[in-house]
Structure 1
Amino acid sequence: MSFCVRQESGFDNAPTWDGAVEVMPLMQRRRDVKLERLELGLAKARSVIKEAIRNKDNRPPLTDKDHVPVGPVYRNAYAFHRSYLEMEKLFKIYVYEEGEPPVFHDGPCRSIYSTEGRFIYAMEMENRMRTRDPELAHVFFLPFSVVKMVKMIYEPNSHDMSPLRRTIFDYIDVLSTKYPFWNRSLGADHFMLSCHDWGPYVSSADGHLFSNSIRVLCNANTSEGFNPSKDVSLPEINLRSDIIDKQVGGPSASHRPILAFFAGGDHGPVRPVLLEHWKGKDSDVQVSEYLPQGVSYIDMMRQSKFCLCPSGYEVASPRVVEAIYLECVPVVIGDDYVLPFSDVLNWPAFSVRVSVTDIPDLKRILAAVSPRQYIRMQRRVRMVRRHFMVNGPPRRFDVFHMILHSIWLRRLNVRLHGQD
């Protein structure tokens, strides 16, 4: 069966919450009543959220036993809260059971790629929004790990990614043959998740996966085909242990004597520029490749007002979340990176964005932030931290649920027309 796609107008330059892509058959067969029922529920949720957007200033905050989103850290706190509650009430996810660990249903839970493994594991254990009946699902999760594929399938130093791409292509072929759901939407209600640098490239193994499906990626690079209206930016979180509390919290502004700090490898297109201009040249902007022995990286971040987060080989940097954890205002340096949860979070309220061309002016830009403004920004960093916390088991509004909410918004952007 063939399909056509129609894009509708978006909301506030971001199609989430309002715009929709319609997927409809060019040749209609008998009605799919179950799908129509699912779409009716989504249409009602879409309407409720649109109403919340229109009336954000005319309604008191919604009640919530855990957290009430308020304040400038959100683009629209009221609409986000309403959307989140609608997600909890309605959203159902089906995880395909096909595939064997470690390439499927498994992933790294410690390392720079931990977000990938933690999500896969949490999704396997999820009860509230996971359904075992695919007929009730709004989205379908393809539970492969690109990190595990690289470890188990890729031949080191071969520069040949065709075995990884073939694995994904064959997996989708199995699912599309066994189930009707992939072909029904050409993948538009399916999602994959990868924190590996190669995630975007490997996703091109199937044209519909790349162009139609929701790709949840740490490497959220618009210059490489990342589409914010359908794809999701995944936070890169470098977890070295299960004890996260040691990585959280920091002193007030008055106990942070360093203006800005960065230490990291000289790789990628951005860091060489940063190191050239600032390495070892200014005590206020402390930039280095390697810290002296005995100097703690985390302590240096805790002593700094701003933590520099330049892109490396790829656009994402784990320093963004590290800075948020340690209450250091993140300075994102890069031009093509879509920041995580930017459909609901107002990043300019608690971070600084600097283009590569402005790296020589870093000190002037950061020194121009007044003490009062900085205190506000740091307070907002502390407020937004809950949305990046990794909890076991997951808790409401934490990073796992924020990822699900981003997927929920993208699914609201798609309307499937019932057919069988």
Structure 2
Amino acid sequence: MSTHLNRHGRSTSDHRIIKYFRWLLWISLSLYFLSSYLITHSTKSTSLFKTTMKHNSVVSHALLDAATNTSSTQPSISSGLGGLKIYVYDLPSKFNIDWLSNERCSNHLFAAEVAIHRALVSSAVRTLDPWEADFFFVPVYVSCNFSTVNGFPAIGHARPLLASAVELVSSAMPFWNRSQGSDHVFVASHDYGACFHAMEDVAIADGIPEFLKKSIILQTFGVNYKHRCQDVENVLIPPYISPVKLQSMLGVAGATTNERDIWVFFRGKMEVNPKNISGRFYSKRVRTDIWRQFNDNPKFYLRRHRFDGYQSEIARSVFCLCPLGWAPWSPRLVESVALGCVPVIIADGIRLPFPTTVRWSEISLTVPESDVGNLDDILEHVAATNLSIIQRNLRDPSKTRALMFNDQLQRGDATWQVLNALSQKLNRSHSNKSQ
């Protein structure tokens, strides 16, 4: 068999082998540099996550490690979510973790913005490749400094902070501009959600910031009638209740027992004169009417002053009043469900989170605001008819799970419910449209 030599004196077969090895070397180097980029990016994101976690003393070391190994820790969590992929922007700390110097920020009723961020960073649905992402999560904490020292709402920093974040992501990466933000997700976990103001009249007048009108807002505010502050693509979420504190209280109070010695419970702001110093009527006078009507009724355990251990009182109660405050929703909704107390919702037109999972009509009562004067008769009637059925439904652990945010994603929990809702909106994903 003859051997052909090229002009360098090498055989043709030798030349092919050299070409093959050159090609193999080029592929290897390309993969090396790509993996180096991904590892660097992953390390940076993990560093952000671990820095965030340092501000929460109850988080375990196992949770910190989970951020480094998302693909192997939660293989079953993402099942049922349609292969959903979320890219989490690694924003400068001034947009999020710097706010956590105030410990209250990661524990108060508005802390869903923090919990969702933490859960996504360590979840199996997170992708480090933005080109394959269905949605983009923009972690800006706007509710951390929600209340001033004197207790009055203060959220004037929200709009400029969000605008700055949008300017950054739109200038640094191409994904905002290609969709005008329609596949980008934000959290608005305070009173009037996407309007970013605590007073309804001002919130309505201000409206939703123009730059967010095409995005998806995860917000606690929701009503079943037309309202300017929900006139945006949104997912309704529950307020934040610390699962760690709740479990600790359950262990101390023995709340799983049937010993409930309080018939009707409410502790919270109930002004004798409903007109607030702001000139507005707090709770549309509902809480004032409850106080005036039932303060002297021995069946009603009503308290106007704060008490850190109030969850132990909920655990002892049969009915827990959940009247509106400035906004319709209340953290008492979640606390009551978790602690087995029947929520009595008094907020006309309220829209409740995750209704396909949490069938609210089976675990709660709804009383019109105009009927608060008849609460005693209404609750006595329920007690004589279907109270035991409602209480049995409340014992279903899936209801509590769906309303609780955990620092690490759990199947069926509140963040999982958010992801499930997003999986129903894949028509907004640029990735989905390009296929």
TM-score band w.r.t. shorter chain? 0.5 to 0.7
Distance in 1 of aligned mates of 2:327 and 2:112: 16
The answer on whether the counterparts of 2:120 and 2:126 sit within 8 Å (CA) in structure 1 is yes
Pairing partner for 1:288 from 283, 300, 303 = 303
Instruction: Give the helix-richer structure, 1 or 2.
Output: 2
Distance in 2 of aligned mates of 1:191 and 1:394: 17
Which of the pair has more CA radius of gyration?
Answer: 2
Shift >6 Å, 4+ stretches? 154-160
Q: Would you say 1:398 and 2:417 are equivalent positions?
A: no
Distance in 1 of aligned mates of 2:155 and 2:313: 38
Question: Deviations 1:113-165 (Å, cap 9, x if unpaired)?
Answer: 23222222222222x000111111111111100124658xx999999866431
Q: Would you say 1:350 and 2:350 are equivalent positions?
A: no
Counterpart for residue 118 of structure 1: 115
Distance in 2 of aligned mates of 1:301 and 1:185: 46
Pairing partner for 2:138 from 130, 135, 142 = 142
Distance in 2 of aligned mates of 1:244 and 1:259: 21
Relative to 1, partners in 2 of residues 1:184 and 1:377: Cα closer, same or farther, differing over 3 Å?
same
Deviation at 1:322, TM superposition (A): 0.9
3-state secondary structure, aligned to 1:315: coil
Relative to 1, partners in 2 of residues 1:161 and 1:118: Cα closer, same or farther, differing over 3 Å?
closer
Q: Would you say 1:250 and 2:255 are equivalent positions?
A: yes
The answer on whether the counterparts of 2:217 and 2:234 sit within 8 Å (CA) in structure 1 is yes
Deviation at 1:330, TM superposition (A): 0.9
Relative to 1, partners in 2 of residues 1:349 and 1:131: Cα closer, same or farther, differing over 3 Å?
same
The answer on whether the counterparts of 1:94 and 1:132 sit within 8 Å (CA) in structure 2 is yes
Letter in 2 for 1:276: R
Greater Cα shift, 222-231 or 351-360:
222-231
Counterpart for residue 238 of structure 2: 235
Question: Deviations 1:353-387 (Å, cap 9, x if unpaired)?
Answer: 12211211222222221456222211222211122
Q: Which runs of 5 or more structure 1 residues have no equivalent in the other structure? A: 1-82
Relative to 1, partners in 2 of residues 1:226 and 1:341: Cα closer, same or farther, differing over 3 Å?
farther
Deviation at 1:183, TM superposition (A): 2.8
Equivalent residue runs for 1:125-274 within 5 Å: 125-126=122-123, 128-148=124-144, 163-197=157-191, 199-202=193-196, 206-209=209-212, 211-221=213-223, 224-227=227-230, 230-239=233-242, 242-248=244-250, 250-251=255-256, 255-266=259-270, 267-269=282-284, 270-274=286-290
Letter in 2 for 1:320: L
Counterpart for residue 312 of structure 1: 325
Letter in 2 for 1:382: R
The answer on whether the counterparts of 1:109 and 1:118 sit within 8 Å (CA) in structure 2 is yes
Distance in 1 of aligned mates of 2:114 and 2:393: 28
Q: Would you say 1:97 and 2:90 are equivalent positions?
A: yes
Deviation at 1:223, TM superposition (A): 6.0
Alignment RMSD, CA only?
3.5
3-state secondary structure, aligned to 1:147: coil
Distance in 1 of aligned mates of 2:344 and 2:153: 33
Greater Cα shift, 350-359 or 337-346:
337-346
The answer on whether the counterparts of 1:94 and 1:139 sit within 8 Å (CA) in structure 2 is yes
Q: Would you say 1:86 and 2:80 are equivalent positions?
A: yes
Q: Report the count of equivalent residues.
A: 327
Relative to 1, partners in 2 of residues 1:358 and 1:159: Cα closer, same or farther, differing over 3 Å?
closer
The answer on whether the counterparts of 1:214 and 1:407 sit within 8 Å (CA) in structure 2 is no
Distance in 2 of aligned mates of 1:155 and 1:327: 33
Letter in 2 for 1:400: T
Equivalent residue runs for 1:21-60 within 5 Å: none
Letter in 1 for 2:291: L
Deviation at 1:179, TM superposition (A): 2.9
Deviation at 1:346, TM superposition (A): 1.5
The answer on whether the counterparts of 1:273 and 1:359 sit within 8 Å (CA) in structure 2 is yes
3-state secondary structure, aligned to 1:368: helix
TM-score scaled by length of structure 1? 0.67
Letter in 1 for 2:167: D
Letter in 2 for 1:118: A
The answer on whether the counterparts of 1:165 and 1:205 sit within 8 Å (CA) in structure 2 is no
Deviation at 1:263, TM superposition (A): 1.2
Greater relative contact order (CA < 8 Å, ≥ 6 in sequence): 1
Equivalent residue runs for 1:57-76 within 5 Å: none
Question: Deviations 1:301-337 (Å, cap 9, x if unpaired)?
Answer: 2222111111212222111111112111111110243
Letter in 1 for 2:326: Y
Counterpart for residue 387 of structure 1: 402
The answer on whether the counterparts of 2:183 and 2:429 sit within 8 Å (CA) in structure 1 is no
